[in-house]
């Protein structure tokens, strides 16, 4: 558990620093006014979108896993909800390992293969977010875009770098799938400068990924995965639109998708469980680029974050109770899966 505890402390330090910065800069009277003016009826469809998005995520996982194993939707949904609940309350994204453990137990399949499909799932998430980013960059390039010019330039530069990086990673993964042995040999040679521990961790992740990547088939299977990826992230964008309406923030129609990119980057940064601080600071900065006051942006961030994680935490805890499991036991099992997969 030591490596998970180290990650927890590092995340807590970053999250604490960002929370402190936000609090110092906030006018609490204006923050209270922003909350007072909000239309909380939009919380209802927001919660529905969050839960439906999780169902679509589990359904997409079923398609990713299908060539390896036909898993029951009930088990996939339960593992997904419990895993994401664990991501929000436990350190170091242990929920991903817990998902692999749970589906491995309920479906009697290899936990390494299950973890591999989760890694592949994250690749499709990254691909979808980058496609959204390309669309956002096109929209902010229009002369009538209200986005701050300096911020728009920075976003374009960052987006270009990310796209180049993703193309490089995608090329590497294509080689890994088509020429697995040769690519792994080349990686081993390149990793000689690292310690044996780190070499084993990196190679373990690659081997897990290869196991999951073998489940993806070109043609109809790939199209279905891409469709459900687009549907899921479209639902998340709809949730952002509900929150913008709740706080009476009138911005162009692409802004909910722009916020998706901002939020995706925020949750990718190592932070405390639940992405406290990183999520809020990113959303405040993202909305400030449209000249939205910081207090309004922070009220949006606080309420949207609450509605994103609390329904999943409550649902995950209920499913945990129904499966006669505990968080302590899942932490131990996650450590076991980490050792099996050599997860860093």
pLDDT-derived band of residue 8, with 50, 70 and 90 as boundaries?
low
Residue 318: other Cβ atoms inside 10 A: 13
Quote the distance between the C-alpha of residue 43 and its chain's center: 21
pLDDT of 213 > 70? The answer is: no
Tell me, what's the pLDDT at 194?
A: 72
Task: Supply the pLDDT for residue 22.
Answer: 82
In this prediction, residue 2 carries a pLDDT of: 46
CA distance 342 to 331: 16
Q: Name which of 24, 1, 19, 43 is nearest 242 in CA terms.
A: 43
324, two tokens = 């006669």
What tens digit of pLDDT does each residue of 34-66 get? 999 999 999 999 999 999 999 999 999 998 888
pTM of the model: 0.83
Angle in degrees, 0-180, between the axes of helices 294-322 and 220-246, rounded to the nearest 10: 130
Cα 139–chain centre separation: 24
Q: Among candidates 286, 292, 294, which has minimal Cα distance to 140? A: 286
Q: What are the sequence ranges of the domains in the chain?
A: 2-341
What's the residue count for the chain? 344
pLDDT score recorded for residue 14: 66
DSSP letters, 3-14, are HHHHHHHHHHHH
Q: What secondary structure letter does DSSP report for 216?
A: -
Closest CA to 154 of 230, 265, 24, 252: 265
**How would residue 180 be classed by pLDDT, with cut points 50, 70 and 90?**
confident
The more confident residue out of 170 and 276 is: 276
Which tens digits make up the pLDDT trace of 234-244?
A: 999 999 999 99
Answer for the pair 12, 269: CB distance below 8 angstroms, yes or no: no
Confidence (pLDDT) at 147: 65
Range in 131-145, 196-210, 254-268 the model is least confident about: 196-210
Predicted local distance difference test score (pLDDT) of residue 209: 65
């Amino acid at each position: 558990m030591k490596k998970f505890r180290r990650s927890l402390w590092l995340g807590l330090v970053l999250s604490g620093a960002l929370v402190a910065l936000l609090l110092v800069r906030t006018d609490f009277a204006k923050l209270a006014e922003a909350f007072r003016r909000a239309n909380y009826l939009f919380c209802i469809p927001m919660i529905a979108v969050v839960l439906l998005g999780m169902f679509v995520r589990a359904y997409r996982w079923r398609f990713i896993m299908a060539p390896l194993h036909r898993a029951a939707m009930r088990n996939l949904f339960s593992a997904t909800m419990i895993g994401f609940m664990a991501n929000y309350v436990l350190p170091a994204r242990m929920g991903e390992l817990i998902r692999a453990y749970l589906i491995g137990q309920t479906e009697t399949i290899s936990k390494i293969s299950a973890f591999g499909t989760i890694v592949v799932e994250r690749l499709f998430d990254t691909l979808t977010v980058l496609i959204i980013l390309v669309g956002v960059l096109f929209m902010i390039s229009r002369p009538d875009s209200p986005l701050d010019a300096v911020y728009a330039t920075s976003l374009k530069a960052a987006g270009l770098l990310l796209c180049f990086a993703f193309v490089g990673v995608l090329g590497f993964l294509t080689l890994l799938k088509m020429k697995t042995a040769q690519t792994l040999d080349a990686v081993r040679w390149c990793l000689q400068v690292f310690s044996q521990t780190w070499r084993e961790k990196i190679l373990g992740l690659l081997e897990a990924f290869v196991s999951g990547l073998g489940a993806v088939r070109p043609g109809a299977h790939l199209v279905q995965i891409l469709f459900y990826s687009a549907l899921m992230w479209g639902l998340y964008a709809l949730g952002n639109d509900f929150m913008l309406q709740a706080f009476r923030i009138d911005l162009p129609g692409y802004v909910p998708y722009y916020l998706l990119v901002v939020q995706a980057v925020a949750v990718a940064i190592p932070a405390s469980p639940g992405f406290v601080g990183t999520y809020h600071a990113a959303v405040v900065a993202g909305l400030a680029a449209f000249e939205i006051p910081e207090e309004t942006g922070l009220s949006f961030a606080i309420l949207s974050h609450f509605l994103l994680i609390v329904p999943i935490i409550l649902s995950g805890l209920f499913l945990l109770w129904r499966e006669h499991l505990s968080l302590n036991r899942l932490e131990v099992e996650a450590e076991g899966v980490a050792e099996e997969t050599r997860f860093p």
